């Protein structure tokens, strides 16, 4: 709404570090939901999903948590005007996945149970390592698939993406900053010359 009315996103006023964190956060919310949905319905709740869909409450919770999240992420990918993110975000995606899986073993040490049964090395054996590696690979693949979809959307839609009538020109940030600095310096020189002129008059 703010962008539609002003042509400027509030994010542009943030420091560059906060902009980077916002971009990383955006990459996670359009990547992790697909991983969560795939892992849950393939490893945690195996067909015919009698436990996950056995009661009305379980159906509501599992569909809300493990289906609609992917639907919302898909909607964001298809209908937003966000450009593809840099490939280095995939490293952050992988790092957070690793920390999340490590947290599952911390819970095992503290509470004596596994959050996910496939992480029990005693019952799963070497398959546990394969599952963990597969989830990590899935995270990287999901990121690049999503970014590929964003790129295809941008390429196919082109200039048909609707923008605010107040939108600023889309030239690079460095050029905008250099022009802003040049204008600021020019204004400062004019003010300085004006002040010197007034001193000569008096």
> Both 75 and 145 in a single domain?
yes
> Both 132 and 41 in a single domain?
yes
> Both 183 and 83 in a single domain?
no
- Exposed, middle or buried, 171 (CB in 10 Å: 0-12/13-18/19+)? exposed
> Both 43 and 139 in a single domain?
yes
- Of the two residues 50 and 140, the one the predictor is more confident about is 140
114 and 104 Cβ atoms separated by less than 8 Å: yes
> Both 201 and 162 in a single domain?
no
> Both 117 and 193 in a single domain?
no
- Exposed, middle or buried, 27 (CB in 10 Å: 0-12/13-18/19+)? buried
Q: How many domains does the chain have?
A: 2
> Both 137 and 191 in a single domain?
no
3-13 pLDDT, tens digit each:
666 667 777 78
- pLDDT of 201 > 50? The answer is no
Averaged pLDDT, 120-125? 85
Averaged pLDDT, 185-196? 59
> Both 141 and 183 in a single domain?
no
> Both 178 and 97 in a single domain?
no
> Both 160 and 185 in a single domain?
no
> Both 163 and 186 in a single domain?
no
Q: What is the pTM of this model?
A: 0.73
pLDDT for the residue numbered 176: 46
Q: Which domain holds residue 30?
A: 2-170
């Amino acid at each position: 709404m703010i962008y539609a009315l002003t042509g400027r996103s509030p994010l542009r006023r943030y420091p560059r570090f906060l902009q980077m964190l916002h971009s990383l956060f955006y990459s996670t919310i359009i990547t992790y939901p697909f991983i969560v949905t795939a892992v849950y319905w393939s490893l945690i709740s195996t067909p015919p999903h009698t436990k996950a869909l056995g009661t009305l409450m379980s159906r509501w919770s599992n569909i809300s948590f493990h289906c609609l999240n992917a639907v919302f992420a898909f909607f964001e990918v298809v209908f937003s005007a966000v450009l593809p993110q840099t490939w280095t975000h995939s490293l952050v995606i992988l790092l957070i996945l690793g920390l999340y899986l490590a947290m599952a073993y911390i819970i095992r040490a503290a509470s004596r149970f596994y959050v996910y049964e496939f992480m029990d090395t005693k019952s799963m054996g070497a398959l546990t390592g394969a599952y963990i590696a597969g989830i990590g690979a899935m995270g990287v693949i999901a990121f690049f698939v999503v970014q590929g979809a964003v790129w295809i959307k941008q390429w196919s839609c082109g200039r048909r993406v609707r923008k605010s009538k107040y939108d600023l020109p889309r030239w690079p940030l460095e050029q905008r900053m250099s022009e802003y600095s040049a204008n600021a310096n020019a204004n400062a020189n004019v003010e300085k010359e004006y002040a010197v002129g007034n001193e000569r008059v008096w």
